[in-house]
């Protein structure tokens, strides 16, 4: 079962998806998928996207099986009202998970009986970061990005972006939570403040930034309820 201790921990498992190329291993991944997952994967037009989706589903299934006596292929999932998949079987469990993937990396966060969210972004892509921050972020965040020298703007932008994505994913409500209605301060410990339509208690949340490679930034969000939560990261290759 691997790592059964999850009470005050959030475990973050990650795989460099571009490095998983063994045909036999990929075939084993495909055998784990449900018919719905297979159909969803086939709707991707590009091979790289089908590959990424296969790695993502294999990572979720094999990761959950580290914490429960359930074969990876037996897990079933049901989307909530906003489309986030949640465990529906074959057992009742307090396990919670959240998945994110971007070019070259897939990340799965697992916790026990707590809201969790994770986001990973590939940071080596051009963008109008000041414009994007002004369009989507809270005013204080956009002002911070704009105040930085050009060579530091992308770094701050992705810090904010991954944190904001991790929070809305932890809440499981998607973009029904406007990105401009909550704001982060990047100084440690990272804090969040709410405005507008969002009613939540900022004291019940913890946030962590992770740098899992030179080109990937990750943020983790977890409902803390006052406990001292530890983030544990582990690189993996499913079924190896």
CA distance 31 to 44: 18
Measured CA to CA, the distance from residue 238 to residue 228 in angstroms comes to 29
Q: The tokens of 210 are what?
A: 């992770």
157 phi and psi, to 5 degrees?
A: -55, -50
Looking at the predicted structure, is the pLDDT value of residue 4 above 60?
Answer: no
Q: Other CB atoms closer than 10 Å to residue 234's CB: what's the count?
A: 12
Predicted local confidence at residue 148, as pLDDT: 97
pLDDT band at 2 (very low <50, low <70, confident <90, very high): very low
29 versus 83: which is more confidently predicted? 29
| Distances in whole angstroms, Cα of residue 23 to Cα of each of 26, 51, 115, 146 | 5, 11, 36, 46
Average model confidence (pLDDT) across the chain: 94
Give the pLDDT confidence of 67-126 residue by residue, as tens digits.
Answer: 999 999 999 999 999 989 999 999 999 999 999 999 999 999 999 999 999 999 999 987
Output the pLDDT for position 210.
Answer: 98
User: Has residue 8 got a pLDDT over 50?
Assistant: yes
pLDDT of residue 231: 95
Residue 1 pLDDT > 70? no
pLDDT per residue over 162-201, tens digit each? Answer: 999 999 999 998 888 999 999 999 999 999 999 988 999 9
Please report the pLDDT score of residue 132 as a whole number. Answer: 96
What is the SS3 assignment for 215? coil
Report the C-alpha gap between 202 and 135 in whole angstroms: 24
Tell me what pLDDT residue 175 has.
81
Q: Is 23 helix (H, G, I), strand (E, B) or coil?
A: helix
Reading the block at residue 131, the tokens are 């414009």
Question: What whole-number distance in Å separates Cα of residue 236 and Cα of residue 50?
Answer: 20
Per CATH, the homologous superfamily of domain 9-235 is 4'-phosphopantetheinyl transferase domain (3.90.470.20)
pLDDT for the residue numbered 94: 94
Q: How far apart are CA 75 and CA 72, in angstroms?
A: 6
């Amino acid at each position: 079962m691997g790592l059964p201790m999850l009470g005050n921990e959030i475990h973050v498992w990650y795989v460099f998806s571009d490095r998983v190329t063994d045909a036999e291993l990929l075939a084993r991944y495909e055998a784990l998928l449900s018919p719905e997952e297979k159909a969803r994967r086939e709707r991707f037009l590009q091979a790289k996207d089908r590959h990424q989706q296969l790695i993502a589903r294999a990572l979720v299934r094999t990761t959950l099986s580290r914490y429960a006596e359930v074969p990876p292929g037996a897990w079933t999932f049901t989307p909530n009202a906003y489309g986030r998949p949640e465990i529906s079987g074959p057992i009742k469990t307090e396990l919670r998970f959240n998945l994110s993937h971007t070019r070259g990396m897939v990340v799965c966060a697992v916790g026990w009986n707590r809201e969790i969210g994770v986001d990973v972004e590939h940071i080596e892509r051009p963008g109008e970061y000041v414009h994007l921050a002004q369009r989507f972020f809270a005013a204080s965040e956009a002002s911070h990005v704009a105040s930085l020298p050009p060579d530091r703007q992308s770094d701050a932008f992705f810090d904010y972006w991954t944190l904001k994505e991790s929070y809305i994913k932890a809440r499981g409500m998607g973009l029904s939570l406007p990105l401009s209605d909550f704001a982060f301060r990047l100084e440690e410990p990272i804090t969040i403040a709410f405005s507008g339509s969002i009613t939540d208690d900022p004291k019940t949340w913890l946030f962590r930034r992770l740098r899992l490679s030179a080109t990937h930034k990750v943020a983790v969000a977890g409902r803390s309820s006052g406990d001292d939560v530890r983030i544990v990261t582990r690189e993996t290759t499913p079924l190896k």
